[in-house]
Amino acid sequence: MVFALLKYGLSKAYPAREEIPRTPDLKSHYDVVIIGGGGG
């Protein structure tokens, strides 16, 4: 199982995931910057 997953991850033939949204372009400036917003 682990080797099959590793082989799949390193393969160049695996299908691209279209449901992942594109990262938006960064703005030149921001009003607020939040660092470390994760809980845990």
What per-residue confidence (pLDDT) applies to 38?
A: 76
- Three-state DSSP at 4 gives helix
Q: Tell whether pTM > 0.85.
A: no
Q: Between vectors from CA 31 to CA 30 and to CA 34, what angle results, nearest 5°?
A: 80
* Contacts (Cβ under 8 Å, ≥6 apart) of 14: 8
Position 36, amino acid: G
For the stretch 3-39, pLDDT in tens is 888 887 787 776 666 777 778 898 899 899 888 877 7
